[in-house]
Amino acid sequence: MYLAYWNLKEKPFDNTPDRRFLYRSPNHAEAWEKLMWAITGGKPCAMLSGEYGCGKTVLMRAIAAQLEPARFNVALINYPLFEGDGFLRDIIVQFGHRPVSEDRSGLFHELSHKLTEVASSGKRSLLIIDEAQVVEEPQVFDDLRLLADLHPEAGALLSVVLVGQPELRELVGRYPLLEQHISVRCHLHRFDLKNTARYVSHRLRIAGGQAGLFSEEALELVHHHSGGVPRRINNVADLCLLEACRRQAQKVDGEIVNYLH
């Protein structure tokens, strides 16, 4: 509705995990470097946590897209709600195979064989488990620990990145044998005012917008009302662009932000 008015190519503040809009704050850049080190180094397990809306999913999708398909075999599980041996079955499926075994032991050996084949071809296998804090089945964590123990000389047969909300850290802490395999722990924090302003400018630039569409006062208020959480920043900023368009304003100012909140 407001794209033509602001001369935008696309909506800058949609809450979709589009990796093109990833803003690498110092916090995000540090997480990127540590996770890439773990993945490319064949570490068995890493963990990325952060409250809802802080950019965990888009960061992991950007990392996965950066990995060369010739060197990495990547699988993604978005909502890990499993019962029984469903976890092992899902991993096999996500890596592009049809499970044939009927029991957990058979599935584990089947998966181990597939991972060994991938490693023999010179590639690494990466499994990303998003929203991992919803896992309720203890067997899943036991399976992860067993998979982490599959260590050839060149590194783990399978690298796993657990991604989830802050409670994930406490959840994993209940399984010390698995926790010992986690080589990297990263946590995404809310933005401060400076990074909120840079985040807004970054997304506007990617969408084709001009600098200065938000006044300094408006950015301060966007930060205040969003608490520095990227998802909330998107919600606030999107409404502000719409309201400023409706008013035929030249930019989003503090009065517009306050009017909406």
For the chain, the structural domain boundaries read 3-20+191-260, 26-188
pTM: 0.93
**187-200 mean pLDDT:** 98
Q: Following CA atoms 99, 105, 106, 110 in sequence, which dihedral angle do they give, to the nearest 10 degrees?
A: 70
CATH fold of 26-188: Rossmann fold (3.40.50)
- Measured CA to CA, the distance from residue 138 to residue 205 in angstroms comes to 45
Query: What CATH number has the domain spanning 3-20+191-260?
Result: 1.10.8
pLDDT at 241: 98
Coil, strand or helix: which one is 11?
coil
* pLDDT per residue as tens digits for the range 127-136: 999 999 999 8
* pLDDT per residue as tens digits for the range 169-179: 999 999 999 99
Q: Following CA atoms 83, 78, 189, 40 in sequence, which dihedral angle do they give, to the nearest 10 degrees?
A: 100
* pLDDT per residue as tens digits for the range 141-183: 999 999 988 876 667 899 999 999 999 999 999 999 999 999 9
- Measured CA to CA, the distance from residue 230 to residue 208 in angstroms comes to 19
Instruction: Tell whether the model's pLDDT for residue 248 goes beyond 70.
Output: yes
- Could you tell me which residue, 100 or 35, shows the higher pLDDT? 35
* pLDDT per residue as tens digits for the range 34-63: 999 999 999 999 999 999 999 999 999 999
